């Protein structure tokens, strides 16, 4: 091959091959910018939920002075409708949603991504995480993909799929803004993912997924001063949500251990972190074990009490009836108290 041939022909051949490659890639659907692939994998496992509650007595009838009047002139039945979303987590018909979506519903209607509808029954609910499991009479359903060990990061893409305002399947895109958001509700088990993907009324119970359509969490609430999406939405992490599913399917409810104390973080005079006992439930496990208001909890079952979240999790994992070993400091005295775990009651 002559020098001129090498200088002219080889670049032309290479350029032609590169051009064909670009044309092939440009014509490939997977190379298009966006997250259509993620949506196609996740959306079939997201359902719309419509619940109906029938009320027969007005609020005034709850006042004792008006009960006789209401009994003499019964009010007409009133129908209250609510909407939300859900995520299919098992192919045999188990659907995960928020408790507030189906709370006290007389009828629950589930609409699948293919617009087919069916009724559902409540299997159980967990007030502490605002999660519920319902079941439809179906099998072979598409199940939401799981993370399979991958750890999501702040800044990763997040897609919210649900039924905002009852419009049907909709997708909004944002990022993961933060993890482990707590003190959002009165529950000691708050551990939310924060996202700026638009989450609106009706998205509750729907899926927050990553760029591959894998479940990050269950959308549950928004922080808003306007009533609409202000870019701060909260989702229950997938690992917590799926654990709740397993508990409810097995036992019909979530069973957590209970010590019966209110705790507050505090730094001891020695500089150590401890949890100060603010209140002790009379007759509860801590009260029976001798704990008092003003004590400091240093550890529970040999786990250092360096945060309320840590100790709350340790106690929750203890089965009712099992022993709880509590290291306590009272004044300058340190001692160990042995309590018998109770079962955490539902919040009032």
CB-count exposure of residue 90 (10 Å: 0-12, 13-18, 19+): middle
Catalytic annotation present for 170: no
Catalytic option among 51, 82, 85, 100: 100
Catalytic annotation present for 204: yes
**What residue has token string 């729907």?**
206
Q: Give me the helices (H) in 59-189, please.
A: 67-72, 99-102
Burial per residue of 315-327, b for 16 or more beta-carbon CB atoms within 10 angstroms, e otherwise: bbebeeeeebebb
CA terminus-to-terminus distance, the chain: 88
Distance CA 204, CA 85 (A): 6
Catalytic annotation present for 226: no
Distance CA 56, CA 246 (A): 35
Catalytic option among 82, 85, 172, 204: 204
Structure tokens at 281: 């439930």
Catalytic option among 126, 130, 191, 196: 130
Task: Work out whether the CA dihedral 69, 72, 73, 76 comes out positive or negative.
Answer: positive
| C-beta separation of 155 from 176 below 8 A | yes
SS3 15: helix
CA–CA distances in Å: residue 157 to residues 144, 160, 234: 17, 10, 15
| C-beta separation of 35 from 173 below 8 A | yes
Phi, psi at 337, each rounded to 5°: -110, 145
Report the catalytic residues. Answer: 100, 130, 204
């Amino acid at each position: 091959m002559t020098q001129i041939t090498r200088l002219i022909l080889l670049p032309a051949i290479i350029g032609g091959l590169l051009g064909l490659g670009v044309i092939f890639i440009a014509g490939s659907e997977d190379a298009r910018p966006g997250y259509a692939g993620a949506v196609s994998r996740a959306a079939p496992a997201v359902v719309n939920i419509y619940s109906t509650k029938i009320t027969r007595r007005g609020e005034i009838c709850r006042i004792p002075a008006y009960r006789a009047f209401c009994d003499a002139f019964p009010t007409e039945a009133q129908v209250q409708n609510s909407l939300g979303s859900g995520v299919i987590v098992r192919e045999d018909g188990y659907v995960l949603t928020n408790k507030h979506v189906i709370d006290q519903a007389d009828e629950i209607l589930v609409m699948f991504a293919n617009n087919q509808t069916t009724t559902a029954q409540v299997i159980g609910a967990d007030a502490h995480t605002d999660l519920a499991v319902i079941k439809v009479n179906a099998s072979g359903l598409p199940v939401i993909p799981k993370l399979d060990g991958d750890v999501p990061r702040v800044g990763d893409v997040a897609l919210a799929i649900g039924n905002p305002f009852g419009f049907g399947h909709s997708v909004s895109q944002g990022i993961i803004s933060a993890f482990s958001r707590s003190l959002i509700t009165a529950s000691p088990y708050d551990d939310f993912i924060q996202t700026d993907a638009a989450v609106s009324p009706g998205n509750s119970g729907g899926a927050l997924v990553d760029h591959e359509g894998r479940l990050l969490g269950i959308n549950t609430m928004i922080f808003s001063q306007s009533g609409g999406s202000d870019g701060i939405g909260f989702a229950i992490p997938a690992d917590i949500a799926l654990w709740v599913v397993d508990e409810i399917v097995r036992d019909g409810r979530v069973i957590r251990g209970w010590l019966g104390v209110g705790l507050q973080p505090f730094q001891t005079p020695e500089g150590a972190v401890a949890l100060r006992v603010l209140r002790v439930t009379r007759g509860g496990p801590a009260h029976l074990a001798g704990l008092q208001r003003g004590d400091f909890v240093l550890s529970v079952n040999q786990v250092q009490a360096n945060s309320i979240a840590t100790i709350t999790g340790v106690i929750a994992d203890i089965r009712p009836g099992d022993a709880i070993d509590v290291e306590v400091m009272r004044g300058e005295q340190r001692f160990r108290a042995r309590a018998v775990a109770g079962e955490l009651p539902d919040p009032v």
